Structures are given as C-alpha cells and as structure tokens.
Amino acid sequence: MKRSDLQAMARRELDRQQATRCRLLCCASTPCLSSGAATVQQALEQAVTDNKLDAEVVVVSTGCMGPCSRGPMVTVQLAGQEDTYYENVTPESARQIVAEHVMANQPVADKIMPSDLPFFAKQHKIVLANSGVIDPERLEDYVARDGYAALAHALREMTPEEVCAEISKSGLRGRGGAGYPTGLKWDLVRKAPGEKKYVIANGDEGDPGAYMDRTLMESDPHRLLEGMAIAGYAVGAEQGFLYVRGEYPIAAKRLEKAIRTAERRGLLGSRVLESSFSFRIDIRIGAGAFVCGEETALMASIMGRRGQPTPRPPYPAQSGLWECPTLINNVETFGNIVPIIAHGADWFASVGTAKSKGSKIFALAGKVNTTGLIEVPMGITLREVIDDIGGGVADGFSFKAAQTGGPSGGCIPAEHLDTPMDYESLRALGAIMGSGGLIVMDNASCMPDVAKFFMEFCTDESCGKCVPCRVGTVQMHRILERITNGSAAPADLQILQDLCTMVQETSLCGLGQSAPNPVLSTLRFYREEYEAHIQRHECPAGVCKMTEAPTLELVEALPRRIRELGTIPMSLA
Amino acid sequence: MAVITMTINDELVSGVEGQSLLSLIREQGIELPTLCHLEGLEARGGCRLCLVEMQSTQRLLPACTTTAQEGMSIQTHSERLVRYRRMILELLFAERNHVCAVCVMNGRCELQDEAAKIGMDHVRYDYLVPELPMDATHDKFAIDHNRCILCTRCVSVCDSVEGAHTWDVMGRGVNSRVITDLNQPWGSSRSCTSCGKCVQVCPTGALANKGSTVAEMVKRHDFLQWILDGREKKQWVMHNGGSEGRR
C-alpha cells in the first residue's frame, strides 16, 4: 500500500459513512460489555433489521465513550444533528431508541445523558479522540480519521532526527508515571550504538482500579501500532513488542487482529508503505505479575525469563532486550505520538502547563457520582475533576481524600484540592501522577485501612529478589494489620515509619521504592487517625473492627502506672 | 587498561576502568558485607547489604553491580548505611527460622557473622515463623528451606559454573523458594550432577552435606576461583594450599 492508496481508502470509507443516514454507536469495551452491552447491540441490530432500516442505519461497536458507571452507552449519530448519548441502555430501551429516535426523530428523554455536562465539556481528548467513535476492529474506520497519515508523513518527509526533535519539542513526558521526557529517551536510543534495536510498548497496567491502557488498546489499537512504528523509524528499530497484561484478553485479541490487518495492507511488516523501512510488531502476554510493569522485569519476561527486575544502570536505552538498545514507553505515551506528528509539536505544547504538556487519561473511580475514563488537560485542578467531571461526592457524604498512582502513589486531602494535576505538583504532595488511577474516597474510608490494602497488594506482588521489598513489605503490612485490629503498641508507629524510609531508599526497583508511599502520605496528612487507632483504640471512620486487645508496652507502662497509683498494683504485686 | 581515580570515605583511591565498585572497595581493605554476591559469580544486587552512598546525590547504589567511575565519591559506612544494614539483617532473621543453636553452620555462617559484626543483639520485627520443609532425598546433600535467605548463589553457580541449571526459584515475594528441577525432590533430579558446588557457595546452613550435625559443616569458596582460573587462564593452582575451609 502506498500513501495514495491510503488516501483513496479514507475517501471511500468517508463516502460510505456519509451515505448512511444514521450510525448507532454501541460501546464494546470491557466495562460496558460486563453490564450487558453485547445484548444491547444485538437488540439494536435486530430492531434495525425488523424495521427494514438496513440500508440507511448501521450499528457500530466502538471503544470506550467515557462514563463507564453509566454503561452500557449508546451514541446516536443522525446526519445533520448533534450526537446524542444514551446511558444505562437495556435491550428494551435499545428497541425504543430505534423506534422513536431513529425512525420518528423523537429522542428517548429519560435515557439521555446531556452532552453539555461538565463530564464532557471539561475534557480534552487527544489520545482518546477516536475512542467511542470508531470501530476498533476495522482498519477503514481508523484510516478515515487520518489513520496512518502521520506514519506516511514521517517516513516520507522527516528524518529520524527530525522525528525525535519534534517529540522533544512537544514536551511529551512518559505516561507510565515517572514522567521522563519522551523525546530525550528516543534520542538516546537513536544514538546508542548497535545493529539491532527494539521498541516495546508497556501495556502491563496493574494498579488496582486503573484501566487507561486497556481502554486505549481496546478502543483504538491502530493508533498504538502507528505510534510504535513511528518510534521504530525514529530510533532505528525493526522489531517491536507489545506487552499486554494477561487479564486483558479483549485488548490482546483486538491488537492481534489489528496487527494482522495492518501487515496484510503493508502498513506494518517489511517495506512499510512501500518505503525502505520495515517494522514488525509481536504481542507478548503477561502472566499476571504486577512487577512485570517495571521495565527491566518486563524485558526479562519478554525474553522468557523469570519476571524479576535487574539493577539500572545499564538503562534499557543502552542495553535492553538481548543486550540491544531498547526503547520502552507506556501504551499511553505511544498514543500521543500520532497527534504530535500530525498536528505538530507546538499544537501539542499549547495544552497543559509549563513543565507537563498535553493531556492525561485518568480512570476516575470511587465515591463520585459519575465514574469512568476521562482525558483532561495537564494542570487541571483536582477540584474540577471531582466536582465538575465526576459530579461531586454523593449526597450526604463529604470528600476525604483522592488517591492517585495506586500502590505507588499517595492520598491527597481536601486542603490540597486546588493543586494542579501535573508531575511536579503531585510529587510535592507525596503522591504521583502514576499511570492514571484516581480513586476518590469519602469520610466513610479509614486511612490506615487504605494504607493496609495497598501494602497487602505490594506484599503479594513483590518478586522476592531484594530483601527490603520482600520482607519489609510483609513487616509493614503486619504493623498496619495490628493498627487496624487494635493490638498495636505506641512504638509500632516509629518502627513503621523507619521501615518505610528504609524500604524506599534501599529497594532494587520501583515497586519496592514506591511501596511505602501510601503509608507515608497517609501518615503525613492523617496522622491523627493512626494515633486514634493506637492510643484511643478507636477507628474514627468506623471501618476497623478493633477486635484485638491492645499490646501494653510493659517496660514503659509499668513505671508510669506505679507513679500514678503511688504503689505497685495488686494484680502485679 | 585505563586507570581511574575516585574517592572512598574521603580518601583518594585508584582502580582499573570497568572494575566493580565492590572489588575496588575491598581492595582498599574496607569490609563490605555481601550475602548474595560471591566473587566469581555474576553480581545480582539482591541483598542490598553492599549499598554505598553517592556523595553527590545521596543516592544509595549496590557496590556489586555498579561500575567504578572516574571522579565518583562514595561513603561505605555512613550512619544511615549501617542503620539500614542492620535493619536488613533483622528482616532476614525474622523472615525464616534461623535458629543458630541447632544449625549445622553455627559459628561459620555468613549471616550469623554479619549480624555479629554489626552488633545485632535483637530483632525488632515479628518473627514470621513460616512452616517450611526440608528435602533430604539426595544421597549426599540436604536442603533446609528454613535457613535459606534466597540469595540464589546456588542457582547462579549451578547455571553458570556447573552448567546444569538444576536450581531455580519458584513463587514470588516472601513465598519464593529455591527448587530443584521443576520442584521435584532433589534426589530424583536428573539434571543434578551431585557436584556439590551449590552446597559450598551457600552462605548459611540451608545447603549442607548430609551427616553433618550442629556446627560441623565447613564450606569452601576457594574452589570457585580455582575452576574459573583453570578455565580462563589454564592455571590449576589452589591459592591457599587447598586445605583450609572458610576462616
């Protein structure tokens, strides 16, 4: 396929789409599927056939539309009208939509989700631009929205140096959480000596409650492949690996299909778009280890070894897969490449803050009225995200904390709600941007209990290679267990804090180094809750059962009791 | 080979380019504990005892896997490092059932030595007292998982020196365990050559000769250098006369 063939394909598809009077978009990503989107789609298709509308109405299964808690979602696109979003669609209401909205132009009022809600208005979709609009399993849908044009442009009109320079200029930073400048990383790999180089997309998303990467892989797989191919061209790699978490079968299936389609059309494989550049992508499925999201462990896993991290340096850019220079970026980072090449670095850099450019996808979860997947400009305040996009905390409850970054992140209290969401501001609060998990908690949550939850997660997921993480997390978890069941001693708090700093500073990889963050950040902002558990033997939020008796520190307590009583207590005499 | 100059504990020292920080530190006569690294095996960076402090960034780096570089300045025994080393040793003692009084390596154990050197007189953490099995199915050797600190020297020596790769690790986190073949009894292992290298490099009483009782086991590390010298330099010379064990 040549560039002109690509343009012809786009024209054909656009003509086809314009020929239909109505498109019914039905979300087919995991959250909506789990609430019955498959039967909704069947009902839509059946209703279209029953009413003999096949010629003018098409039903399209798309990727995620965003408000996942209100799924299954259906969008009605009627020619010459604004899109209409329907929430909580059932097979009955699906038939109603076809009968009333499509045929009689009478929208079904009680199921409509108003499109002027702040949930939509405050978002800024760069990476998710196609998500919920195109059929992820059809290459034509993607090409009709200028798909693979950026790759064609880069291959024909840009040198690898220029591609790297463009990415650097855009100010894009790694979306996996640490925020390393992407352009700089690309340039390092490009300049690294070596015949063979590799590109890896990290799709081993493991934070509890986070599903940004899954959605991107499920909703717009070709964007990811195109981003990786551009990266391959920029750094001089001919082989890419897509590491997909084992728990994401739909994502893996759609990517597999996308790769095969793209290879058949000459958009991947040898001589991409009839240029001299070749690029193959293979999928590797993870086996359920959180630590494999760490880049060195991920590479070990790709090479078929035990998924354990190795000390850096050497960094993957110098010596990665089979000791070759390797570029490894998060899936969401690759999702940003196409828009940067297509619209230019300046356009991209106009969104966001001085140091954090572009947008970030968050999986908004927890106690807000609308949860789901959102893409917001960097620098938006937490308050806007929770009150406007999320629709605020449910009536009768008050906001207590927002947890970002999952088991590596921290909790942000109410007094910091006006903090802009960017890499530096979040780090200053002891939280991190992370991959984009954002869990809102109300006053019914107990912070030591939250810390215990994340520590238990780290205990399970520690690979066992280095001592501080392997045993330190277990000991921290046991202390948190004692605090939340009522048997902690006053000295435990200091032991816990000392362990936190030690594990942070001495662990081998990011998992151990960040495992104490949830404890440290809750200790920083909610210390009085820990003290209430230990000293007053009560849980202010009423979550912990406090079933165990407190452990008295006899050495400290006895002399004090003797002083207080003026004599040795009878029971001890 | 180019010479590099760097600072260790405020003293200028010189070494060879490409040399590991650990070997340069030890060349200066400074004792730095390592429970996973053993000279002759691939550096691993797992026990975190050989962490040293970079003066410029205050960052801690494992000396075994870090290459010495021109102009580096490090501290090997700052107050923080010593405190952390002791905590790590305490964590190890709390992890499994290290009861020295009934251990074949009592008096010659590397874990015990390091704890004594650092003055570890008690453990402030909960003993996890896991219930772990022993495997005494092999004719000559036995493994007691209660003493294992998961340093994986056995895995490394079996793979890179003996070339058998009988040993490996299964499970993860605190539930990790070294295994023979695919978690089969050691005695039934068809890949094991019964060379005993794993037993000799094991720092604790986890791997021992059968028949040795409390404090009787003597382990020798010098065989490793002997084999490696023989292979690389074709010199089959035992450096300490071949009669001495460890210490």
Instruction: Look up tokens 């996308």; give the residue.
Output: A258
Prediction ipTM score: 0.93
**Which of chain B's residues have a Cβ under 8 Å away from the Cβ of A461?**
172-173
Q: Average pLDDT of chain A?
A: 92
Mutate to test the interface with A, among B172, B182, B183, B204 (most CBs of A within 10 A): B172
First to last CA, chain B: 33
The CA-based angle A528-B123-B218, given to 5 degrees, is 155
What is the pLDDT at residue A501? 96
> Is it the case that residue B101 has pLDDT exceeding 80?
yes
Residue of B nearest to A505 (CA): B60
Q: Using DSSP bridges, classify how beta strands A399-404 and B11-16 pair: parallel, antiparallel or unpaired.
A: unpaired
- Is A417:A425 a contact under the CB 8 Å cutoff? no
Task: State whether residue A504 sits within 8 Å of chain B by CB.
Answer: no
**Which of chain B's residues have a Cβ under 8 Å away from the Cβ of A289?**
172
Contact yes or no for A462 and B172 at CB 8 A:
yes
> Distance between CA atoms of A328 and A307, rounded to whole angstroms?
16
Distance of residue B60 Cα from the nearest chain A Cα, in angstroms? 7
Which stretch of A386-400, A448-462, B229-243 has the lowest confidence by average pLDDT?
A: B229-243
A72: cis peptide before it, omega within 30°? yes
Of residues A463, A474, A498, nearest to B128 (C-beta): A474
DSSP state of A28: -
> Distance between CA atoms of A211 and A370, rounded to whole angstroms?
16
The strand pairing partners of A77, in sequence order, are A23
Distance of residue A386 Cα from the nearest chain B Cα, in angstroms? 36
Q: Which of A176, A227, A236 is nearest to A408 (CA)?
A: A176
What is the pLDDT at residue A568? 61
A413: cis peptide before it, omega within 30°? no
**Which of chain A's residues have a Cβ under 8 Å away from the Cβ of B168?**
306
A-facing residues of B in 27-46 (CB < 8 A) are: 44-46
A313: cis peptide before it, omega within 30°? yes
C-alpha A23: how far from chain center: 29
Mutate to test the interface with B, among A319, A457, A474 (most CBs of B within 10 A): A474
Q: Which of A318, A334, A312 is nearest to A203 (CA)?
A: A334
Q: Which of A446, A432, A374, A369 is nearest to A403 (CA)?
A: A432
Which stretch of A303-307, A324-328, A549-553, B79-83 has the lowest confidence by average pLDDT?
A: A549-553
What is the pLDDT at residue A571? 55
The CA-based angle A511-A512-A516, given to 5 degrees, is 105
Sign of the Cα torsion B95, B97, B103, B104 reads: negative
Would you mind telling me the total number of residues written for chain A in this entry? 573
Average pLDDT over residues A187-198: 95
C-alpha A145: how far from chain center: 24
What is the pLDDT at residue A331? 96
**Which of chain A's residues have a Cβ under 8 Å away from the Cβ of B57?**
none
**Which of chain A's residues have a Cβ under 8 Å away from the Cβ of B151?**
none
Of residues B46, B94, B149, nearest to A508 (C-beta): B46
Q: What percent of chain A has pLDDT over 90?
A: 79
Tokens of A344: 């230019």
What is the pLDDT at residue A569? 55
Of residues A466, A471, A507, nearest to B94 (C-beta): A471
Q: Using DSSP bridges, classify how beta strands B177-180 and B167-170 pair: parallel, antiparallel or unpaired.
A: antiparallel
A-facing residues of B in 121-180 (CB < 8 A) are: 124-126, 128, 149-150, 168-169, 171-176
Distance of residue A129 Cα from the nearest chain B Cα, in angstroms? 40
Higher pLDDT, A209 or B146: B146
What is the pLDDT at residue B242? 45
CATH number for the domain whose boundaries are A359-445: 3.10.20.600
Task: State whether residue B196 sits within 8 Å of chain A by CB.
Answer: no
Q: Which of A131, A84, A129 is nearest to A105 (CA)?
A: A84
Q: Which of A143, A18, A10 is nearest to A78 (CA)?
A: A18
C-alpha A113: how far from chain center: 24
> Is it the case that residue B222 has pLDDT exceeding 80?
yes
Residue of A nearest to B125 (CA): A475
pLDDT tens, position by position, A338-388: 999 999 999 999 999 999 999 999 999 999 999 999 999 999 999 999 999
Which stretch of A106-115, A216-225, A464-473 has the lowest confidence by average pLDDT?
A: A106-115
Contact yes or no for B174 and A498 at CB 8 A:
no
Contact yes or no for A507 and B48 at CB 8 A:
yes
Distance of residue A504 Cα from the nearest chain B Cα, in angstroms? 11
Sign of the Cα torsion A320, A326, A329, A330 reads: negative
> What is the assigned CATH class of domain A19-117?
alpha beta
The strand pairing partners of B56, in sequence order, are none
**Which of chain B's residues have a Cβ under 8 Å away from the Cβ of A462?**
172-174
**Which of chain A's residues have a Cβ under 8 Å away from the Cβ of B125?**
475, 495
Cβ contacts of A320 within 8 Å, gap of 6 or more: A198, A200, A299, A326, A328
> Is it the case that residue A157 has pLDDT exceeding 90?
yes
Overall fold of domain B3-77: Ubiquitin-like (UB roll) (3.10.20)
Band the pLDDT of B240: cuts 50, 70, 90: low
Q: What percent of chain A has pLDDT over 70?
A: 97
> Is it the case that residue A546 has pLDDT exceeding 90?
no
What is the pLDDT at residue A37? 94
CA-derived radius of gyration, chain B: 19
Of residues B91, B149, B169, nearest to A472 (C-beta): B91
Of residues A471, A505, A506, nearest to B174 (C-beta): A471
Residue of B nearest to A511 (CA): B173
What is the pLDDT at residue B244? 43
The strand pairing partners of A357, in sequence order, are A352
**Which of chain A's residues have a Cβ under 8 Å away from the Cβ of B149?**
467
> Is it the case that residue A79 has pLDDT exceeding 90?
no
C-alpha A179: how far from chain center: 14
Distance of residue B237 Cα from the nearest chain A Cα, in angstroms? 34
Tokens of A372: 């789901």
Inter-CA distances, A506 with A447, A470, A500, A523, Å:
25, 12, 10, 20
What is the pLDDT at residue B217? 87
> Distance between CA atoms of B168 and B152, rounded to whole angstroms?
8
Burial of A260 from C-beta contacts in 10 A (0-12 / 13-18 / 19+): exposed
Give the CB-side neighbour count of residue A302, counting CA atoms within 13 A.
30
**Which of chain B's residues have a Cβ under 8 Å away from the Cβ of A502?**
83-84, 87-88
3-state secondary structure A283-337: EEECCCCHHHHCHHHHHHHHCCCCCCCCCCCCCCCCCCHHHCCEEEEEHHHHHCH
What is the pLDDT at residue B239? 64
Which stretch of A137-151, A226-240, A471-485, B206-220 has the lowest confidence by average pLDDT?
A: B206-220
Average pLDDT over residues A83-99: 92
Inter-CA distances, A322 with A183, A282, A289, A375, Å:
23, 16, 21, 36
Cβ atoms within 10 Å of A258's Cβ, excluding its own? 27
DSSP state of A405: S
Which stretch of A465-469, B37-41, B243-247 has the lowest confidence by average pLDDT?
A: B243-247
Tokens of A383: 């308050």
Residue type, B9: N
Written as one string, the DSSP assignment of A127-192 is TTTTTTTS-TT-HHHHHHTTTTHHHHHHHHH--HHHHHHHHHHHT-B-TTTT--BHHHHHHHHHHS
Angle between helical axes of A467-485 and A447-461 (0-180°, round to 10): 150
> Is it the case that residue B165 has pLDDT exceeding 70?
yes
> Distance between CA atoms of A33 and A36, rounded to whole angstroms?
5
> Is it the case that residue B247 has pLDDT exceeding 60?
no
- Is A54:A48 a contact under the CB 8 Å cutoff? yes
- Report domain extents, chain A: 19-117, 146-348, 359-445
Distance of residue B91 Cα from the nearest chain A Cα, in angstroms? 6
Average pLDDT over residues A12-38: 92
Query: Coil, helix or strand for A202?
Result: strand
Distance of residue A168 Cα from the nearest chain B Cα, in angstroms? 26
Task: State whether residue B82 sits within 8 Å of chain A by CB.
Answer: no
Same fold, A19-117 and A146-348: no
What is the pLDDT at residue B246? 44
Band the pLDDT of A114: cuts 50, 70, 90: confident
> Distance between CA atoms of B216 and A22, rounded to whole angstroms?
85
> Is it the case that residue B168 has pLDDT exceeding 60?
yes
- Is B217:B208 a contact under the CB 8 Å cutoff? yes
Give the dihedral of Cα atoms B79, B85, B89, B91; nearest 10 deg.
90
> What is the assigned CATH class of domain B84-233?
alpha beta
pLDDT tens, position by position, A302-322: 999 999 999 988 999 999 999
Going edge to edge, which strands form the sheet with A326-330? A280-285, A239-244, A198-203, A326-330
What is the pLDDT at residue A432? 87
> Distance between CA atoms of B49 and B63, rounded to whole angstroms?
9
DSSP state of B68: P
**Which of chain A's residues have a Cβ under 8 Å away from the Cβ of B62?**
311, 508
Q: Average pLDDT of chain B?
A: 92
**Which of chain B's residues have a Cβ under 8 Å away from the Cβ of A478?**
126
Query: Chain A to chain B, count of Cβ pairs less than 8 Å apart?
Result: 87
Contact yes or no for A506 and B91 at CB 8 A:
no
Q: Which of A416, A414, A491 is nearest to A445 (CA)?
A: A414
Query: Coil, helix or strand for B217?
Result: coil
Overall fold of domain A146-348: Rossmann fold (3.40.50)
Average pLDDT over residues A139-153: 94
Contact yes or no for B45 and A473 at CB 8 A:
no
Distance of residue A307 Cα from the nearest chain B Cα, in angstroms? 10
- Report domain extents, chain B: 3-77, 84-233
Would you mind telling me the total number of residues written for chain B in this entry? 247
Distance of residue A468 Cα from the nearest chain B Cα, in angstroms? 6
Contact yes or no for B126 and A289 at CB 8 A:
no
What is the pLDDT at residue B243? 44
What is the pLDDT at residue A556? 64
Higher pLDDT, B193 or A566: B193
Q: Which of A445, A387, A381 is nearest to A411 (CA)?
A: A445
Give the dihedral of Cα atoms A367, A369, A375, A379; nearest 10 deg.
-70
Give the dihedral of Cα atoms B89, B94, B96, B102; nearest 10 deg.
80
Average pLDDT over residues B180-196: 95
- Is A367:A397 a contact under the CB 8 Å cutoff? yes
Q: Could you tell me where the DSSP H helices lie in B110-244?
A: 110-118, 153-157, 197-201, 222-233
